Amino acid sequence: MRNPHRTQKIAFFLLLLATLLIVVPVGLIVVIIIQKGLPGISWQFLSDIPRQGMRAGGIFPAIVGTVYLVTGAIVFALPIGLLAAIYLSEYSKDNFLTRLIKLAIVNLAGVPSVVYGLFGLALFVVFFKLGASILAGSLTLGIMILPIIITSSREALESVPYTFREVSLSLGASKWQTIRHIVLPNAIPGVLTGTILGLGRAAGETAPILFTVAAFYLPFLPKSVFDQAMALPYHLYVISTQVPNVDEKIRYGTAFVLLALVLFMNLVAIIIRYQFRKKKKW
Amino acid sequence: MPKIQTNGLGLWYGGFHALKNVNAGFEANKITAIIGPSGCGKSTLLRVFNRMNDLIEGVRIEGDVLIDGSNIFDMRTDLVTLREKVGMVFQRPNPFPLSIYENIVFGVRVHNGRVKRDKLDEAVEQSLKSVLLWDELKDRLDKPALRLSLEQKQRLCIARLIAVRPDVLLMDEPCSTLDPQATARIEELMRELKASYTIIIVTHNMQQAARVSDDTGFMLLGELIEFGRTEAIFTAPRDKRTEDYITGRYG
């Protein structure tokens, strides 16, 4: 017989090590970006347009572009994703069609982001003649984050105890009233988790916006959803690989802003989620 | 005429014959207990009366259930109206994760759409009074219902049901999670409520059936073996199986 205390200790050590292995890279990324990026941050950097071939000035248009794109993507993906999740978890029966839909969602989640970019180019930019525009980019990003939102919303809906539905129906509520007033309010924290994940993904991806919206250099703000826009991830790519002699401060500053923006949006969603969770406990 | 009458009621879950030719009349303003060992079909029978079995796939029903003379399986029966009339209290107290107030007004809103605040207040007060919770809870109606004690929760669930103004209360082992004192108080409440409602209670607990009910039905393997006055069932059962059960020869 092995000594159970010793195996226990070894197991504990391995588990801790694995956890640290996750934390360390995240910590390093954050530290490096803050260390190298923070000196480049100034009011001018945040509020000015890029100047001197993007080697000076600020990144304001890219910040605005990313905020527009992320907002647009959520506006498209959240309602559609939530409604699809409600259908799948509350209404659909387990049959061939349902299995096909679920398989499609899983596959959609596995599609490389550059394929979304090409799809967006073909469908929205060319076929629907939206051109390279915020609308086309938002739609493309929206489709990309749909599976994340559907999957997490479905899980959230399914985790609402069955007894709540049973009681509601037994009180004479219709199925829709039950979903609307009992199931959905209790699923909102989970839905928001999915939205947070989708939001972060939409803000950070470069490939889907490459052909559908992103402008190489656009020293003014978009006037409508049919305009092109700069976006932070693409701008970062451009100044890191396409434009020679860009100061490290600007590159890491841009990365810092992108990171901060995503964290800020997450924070807002987390606070909303927390408020909901505080109210609903079972 | 009984409030609820079943004629040749049979029910299958897929291939499983869960209720076999049940014929019984449930009188208004009386408490009818349904007793029997686990899996005998007593909860299934209860769930026929507000058609909660409709939620389960593969359920097939034959025979009639007449409530106030009309068949609840009739195509014209509106489930919403049926469940407004025939409400259910479940085994585990199951208030919604909402405030006490919101729990009670849920059903009122469902059936009446937008209701004025004073009407809702009135419904809350009346229903809480009828389950003897008003004095305890009137100052904290906005508190989460989930923080109440088990007994209070179960009373609240009854109040939530009463607010819908049903005729029939179906109770599926309503005291099984409560301690003996709380059970005694809920039973007392049932005796008070029977003046205004038809109550059918499913229970594991034979003493409870003997204490609260006017009529009792004994079920075994999906059959209603014996049905009659509670005293008769407990003192002079006609069927050997009933006698074996009430004298404790089944689990």
d(CA A89, CA A157): 7
pLDDT of residue A279: 65
Superfamily of domain A59-279: MetI-like (1.10.3720.10)
Residue type, B122: E
Full residue range of the structural domain in which residue B42 is found: 4-94+167-246
Q: Which strand ranges, in their side-by-side order, compose the sheet holding B198-202?
A: B70-71, B59-67, B4-13, B16-26, B223-229, B215-220, B31-35, B198-202, B168-172, B86-89
Cα-only R_g, chain A:
23
Residue B160 contacts A where some CB pair is shorter than 8 Å: yes
How far is A87 from chain B, CA to nearest CA, in Å? 16
Q: Is residue B136 part of a domain?
A: no
Q: Is residue B28 part of a domain?
A: yes
How many helical (H) and strand (E) elements, i.e. helices and strands, does chain B have? 10, 10
Residue B80's CATH number? 3.40.50.300
Cα-only R_g, chain B:
18
**Chain centroid offset of residue A33 CA:** 20
pLDDT of residue B216: 95
Helix (H, G, I), strand (E, B) or coil at A121: helix
- State which residues of chain B have pLDDT below 50: none
CB B136 within 8 Å of CB B152 = yes
pLDDT of residue B178: 87
Nearest CA in chain A to B95: A164
pLDDT of residue A154: 93
Q: Which residues of B touch A163 (CB under 8 A)?
A: 90, 92, 94
pLDDT of residue B16: 92
Structural domain boundaries in chain A: 59-279
How far is A172 from chain B, CA to nearest CA, in Å? 5
- State which residues of chain A have pLDDT below 70: 1-2, 279-282
DSSP code at position B178: S
pLDDT of residue A262: 87
pLDDT of residue B154: 92
pLDDT of residue A280: 59
Residue A166 contacts B where some CB pair is shorter than 8 Å: yes
DSSP code at position A178: H
What pLDDT digit, counting tens, does each position of B59-101 carry? 999 999 999 988 998 877 788 889 999 999 999 999 999 999 9
ipTM for the predicted complex:
0.89
Cross-chain residue pair A170–B88, CB shorter than 8 Å: yes
Q: Is residue B105 part of a domain?
A: no
CB B174 within 8 Å of CB B146 = no
Nearest CA in chain A to B47: A170
Q: Is residue B15 part of a domain?
A: yes
Q: Which residues of A touch B97 (CB under 8 A)?
A: 164, 186, 279-282
Helix (H, G, I), strand (E, B) or coil at A117: helix
* Number of domain units in chain B: 1
Cross-chain residue pair B94–A171, CB shorter than 8 Å: no
